[in-house]
């Protein structure tokens, strides 16, 4: 097991196992985008500041000029969210304070006692835990279908799990552990043919992968602002098709119908009790607009080129196992393990050796690791965002090579330009994207 050494705020580090020691300050290489994106685009930061510094009023809570400006910000956020999930009616898009809350609102608000529900082993705890809770309470019966060693769910397994009383199917569009994309269109069509409701957790795809729309759309789509959308924390999208009316999980003030104790019938009022976070609303609208201007395909291509190079380099290092598929359909996530090292130790060493900030462990996904063979300790995970560069991908490979001894003593270029002592990620014809210029 590798040793962990404390480092200063200047990120001076060393890797004692390989004999590599760095004494110069290290750059911050942020690669934890599947958890939350950083840095945020300048328009997002400016929008948040404008809302809380210059507007400062509560949306839906007054008739002053600034209260109307706050209303306009919320309306813009709702419209942008509707465009993102497929030109749905903005009046069917609620904006709760986070995807976990939104998923709980959908699950608890839709489920009826006696239902059979299907979920998958590739799902996040934000859906699995509410479903497990309802199962333990005796409210529902639950079947969790397996995934393969890449995190992919076979639609045939879902079909085999179907029962006459199956009324709800919940699944993640892409795994937050491996980045593997599910065949959402096939899965939604299967459920629709059987008259069941579908809830799609798009936490790892919104902003980087097209969300199935139109006739292929899930009945409920949930996505947070702060991951691949590049928006702020504390706000999410909850889009629900007409005809499905979730019971409100939270009751309280809505700024409408205030002379009655009953919650309003209007969907967005019923689902948005409490004072909204104006800064988060502004940031969400700005983030979606920023992504639209630069193009989702361009943003995805940028991240995938870095992830592909990182996977290629890591795959040539002894003792390193890269998980997930080589396909580019999902988010640009690279998950791996290093033989003889706990993933948590590897994550610490990554920052010590090269300034890379990654995540290690089970990534809030309780069941997938049993199928990946990573039930002991989980994985190391990096994800490439729009402001990452080839140097960040090279730094990951360089650091893991140093940790494992793959540098064979040649440690003069542990990060930065890739040393010839270990494989270089095939990042060819690199051009600075417009959003970095």
List, for residues 184-217, the tens digit of each pLDDT value. Answer: 999 999 999 999 999 999 999 999 999 999 989 9
pLDDT for 400 beyond 50 = yes
CA distances from residue 161 to 62, 120, 338 in whole angstroms, order as listed: 51, 11, 35
**pLDDT category, 285, cuts 50, 70, 90?**
very high
**pLDDT category, 406, cuts 50, 70, 90?**
low
Check residue 432 and give its pLDDT. Answer: 87
Query: Which are the contacts of 350, defined by CB distance < 8 A and separation ≥ 6?
Result: 356, 357, 358, 380, 396, 399, 400, 403
Cite the residue boundaries of each domain of the chain with CATH code 3.40.640.10: 43-294
| Distance from C-alpha of 240 to C-alpha of 91, rounded to nearest angstrom | 10
What kind of fold does domain 14-30+295-436 have according to CATH? 3.90.1150
CATH label, 43-294, candidates 3.40.190.10, 3.40.109.10, 3.40.50.300, 3.40.640.10: 3.40.640.10
Q: What is the pLDDT of residues 131-179, one digit of tens each?
A: 999 999 999 999 999 999 999 999 999 999 999 999 999 999 999 999 9
Of 13-27, 69-83, 251-265, give the range with the top mean pLDDT: 69-83
Query: Which are the contacts of 16, defined by CB distance < 8 A and separation ≥ 6?
Result: 3, 5
pTM of the full structure = 0.89
> Which of 254, 246, 190 has the alpha carbon at shortest distance from 218?
190
Which has more confidence, 370 or 12?
Answer: 370
| Distance from C-alpha of 383 to C-alpha of 360, rounded to nearest angstrom | 12
Which has more confidence, 306 or 408?
Answer: 306
Share of the chain above pLDDT 70, in %: 89
Cite the residue boundaries of each domain of the chain with CATH code 3.90.1150.10: 14-30+295-436
Handedness of CA 301, 303, 304, 308 (dihedral sign): positive
Work out the angle between the directed axes of helices 278-294 and 65-84 (0-180°, nearest 10).
Answer: 40
Query: Which are the contacts of 223, defined by CB distance < 8 A and separation ≥ 6?
Result: 84, 85, 99, 202, 203, 205, 206, 207, 211, 229, 236, 237
| Distance from C-alpha of 71 to C-alpha of 64, rounded to nearest angstrom | 11
User: Helix (H, G, I), strand (E, B), or coil: what is residue 240?
Assistant: strand
Check residue 416 and give its pLDDT. Answer: 34
| Residue 182: Cβ-neighbour burial (10 angstroms; 0-12, 13-18, 19+) | buried
Check residue 415 and give its pLDDT. Answer: 33
pLDDT for 424 beyond 60 = no
In whole angstroms, what separates CA 345 from the centre of its chain? 23
Query: Which are the contacts of 259, defined by CB distance < 8 A and separation ≥ 6?
Result: none
- Residue 38: DSSP 8-state: -
| Distance from C-alpha of 193 to C-alpha of 67, rounded to nearest angstrom | 45
H or E element: which one contains 15? strand 14-15
Check residue 21 and give its pLDDT. Answer: 52
Q: What is the pLDDT of residues 309-343, one digit of tens each?
A: 999 999 999 999 999 987 778 999 999 999 999 99
Place of tokens 């999902």: 330
| Residue 212: Cβ-neighbour burial (10 angstroms; 0-12, 13-18, 19+) | buried
Q: Whole-number mean pLDDT of the chain?
A: 89
């Amino acid at each position: 097991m590798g040793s962990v050494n404390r480092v200063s705020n200047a990120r001076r580090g060393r890797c004692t196992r390989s004999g590599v020691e760095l004494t110069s300050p290290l750059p911050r290489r942020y690669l934890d985008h599947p958890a939350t994106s950083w840095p945020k685009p300048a328009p997002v930061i400016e929008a948040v500041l404008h809302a809380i510094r210059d507007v400062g009023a509560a949306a839906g809570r007054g008739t002053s000029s600034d209260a109307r400006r706050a209303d306009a910000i919320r309306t813009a956020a709702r419209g942008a969210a509707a465009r993102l999930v497929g030109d749905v009616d903005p009046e069917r898009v609620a904006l709760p304070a986070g995807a976990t809350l939104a998923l709980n609102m959908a699950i608890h608000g839709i489920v009826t006692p006696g239902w059979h529900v299907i979920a998958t082993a590739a799902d996040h705890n934000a859906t699995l835990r509410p479903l497990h809770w309802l199962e333990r309470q005796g409210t529902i019966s639950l079947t969790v279908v397996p995934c393969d060693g890449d995190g992919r769910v076979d639609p045939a397994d879902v079909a085999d799990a179907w029962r006459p009383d199956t009324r709800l199917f919940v699944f993640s569009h892409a795994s937050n552990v491996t980045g593997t994309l599910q065949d959402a269109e096939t899965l939604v069509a299967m459920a629709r043919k059987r008259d069941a409701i579908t809830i799609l957790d798009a936490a790892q795809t919104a902003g980087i992968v097209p969300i199935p729309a139109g006739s292929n759309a899930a009945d409920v789509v949930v996505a947070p602002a702060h991951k691949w959308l590049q928006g702020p924390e504390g706000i999410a999208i909850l889009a629900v098709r007409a005809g499905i009316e979730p019971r409100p999980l939270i009751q309280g003030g809505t700024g409408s119908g205030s002379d009655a104790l009953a919650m309003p019938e209007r969907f967005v009022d019923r689902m948005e009790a409490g004072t909204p976070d104006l800064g988060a609303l502004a940031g969400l609208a700005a983030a979606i607009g920023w992504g639209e201007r630069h193009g989702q395909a361009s943003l995805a291509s940028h991240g995938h080129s870095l992830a592909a190079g990182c996977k290629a380099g890591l795959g040539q290092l002894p003792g390193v196992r890269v998980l997930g598929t080589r396909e580019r359909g999902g988010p640009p996530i690279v998950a791996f393990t290093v033989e003889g090292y706990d993933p948590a130790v590897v994550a610490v060493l990554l920052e010590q050796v090269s300034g890379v900030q990654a995540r290690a462990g089970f990534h809030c996904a309780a069941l997938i690791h049993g199928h990946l063979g990573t039930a002991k300790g989980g994985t190391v995970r990096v994800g490439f965002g729009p402001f990452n560069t080839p140097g960040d991908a090279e730094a990951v490979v360089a650091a893991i090579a140093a940790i494992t001894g793959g540098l064979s003593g040649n440690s003069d270029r542990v990060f930065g330009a890739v040393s010839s002592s270990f494989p270089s990620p095939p990042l060819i014809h690199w051009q600075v994207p417009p959003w970095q210029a």
